[in-house]
Chain A
Amino acid sequence: MSRLAFRDLCVWFGEGEGRVDAVKHATFEVPSGASFGLVGESGSGKSTILRALMGLAPNWSGEMVVGERRLGAKRDRAFYKEVQMVFQDPYASLHPRHSVDQVLSEVLKLHGFSDIDRRVNALLADVGLGPGYRFRYPHQLSGGQRQRVAIARALAPEPSVLLLDEPTSALDVSVQAEVLNLLTDLREEHGLTYLMVSHDLAVIAHMCEATAVMQNGEIVEMLSVEDMRAMRAGHPYTRHLLESASGYNPNAEQMA
Chain B
Amino acid sequence: MTAAIRTQSPSACPACVAAPSAEAIAARAEALKEARIALSLPTIHCAACISTVEQALNAYPGVKEARVNLTLKRANIAADATVDPADLVRLMEATGYEAHELDVATIQATATDKAGRELLMRLAVAGFASMNVMLLSVSVWAGAADATRDMFHWISAAITLPAIAFSGQPFFRSAYSALSAKRLNMDVPISLAILLAVVMSVWETALSGSHAYFDAALTLTFFLLAGRYLDHRTRAVARSAAEELAALEVPRAIRLEDGQEITVPAAELRIGDLILVRPGSRCPVDGEVIAGASELDRSLLTGETVPVAAAVGTLISAGEVNLTGPLTVRANAVGQDTSLHRMADLVAIAESGRSRYTSLADRAAKLYAPGVHALSALSFLGWLIYSHDVRMSLNIAAAVLIITCPCALGLAVPAVTTAASGRLFRKGMLIKHETALERLANVDTVVFDKTGTLTEGTPVLSNLGDHSRSDLEVALALAEGSDHPLSRAITTAARAAGVKPATVTEITEIPGHGTQGIWRGQTVRLGRGDWLGAPAVEITSAWLAIGDAAPVQFGFVDDLRAGAADTIAALKAAGKRVILLSGDSAAPVADLAARLGIREYQANCLPETKLHYIESLSEGGAHVLMVGDGLNDTAALAAADVSISPATALDAARVASDIVLLGRDLTPVAESLVTARKATRRIRENFQIATGYNLVAIPLAIAGLTTPLIAALAMSSSSIIVSLNALRLR
Q: Do A and B come from one complex?
A: no
Which B residues contact A (CB, under 8 angstroms)? none
Which A residues contact B (CB, under 8 angstroms)? none
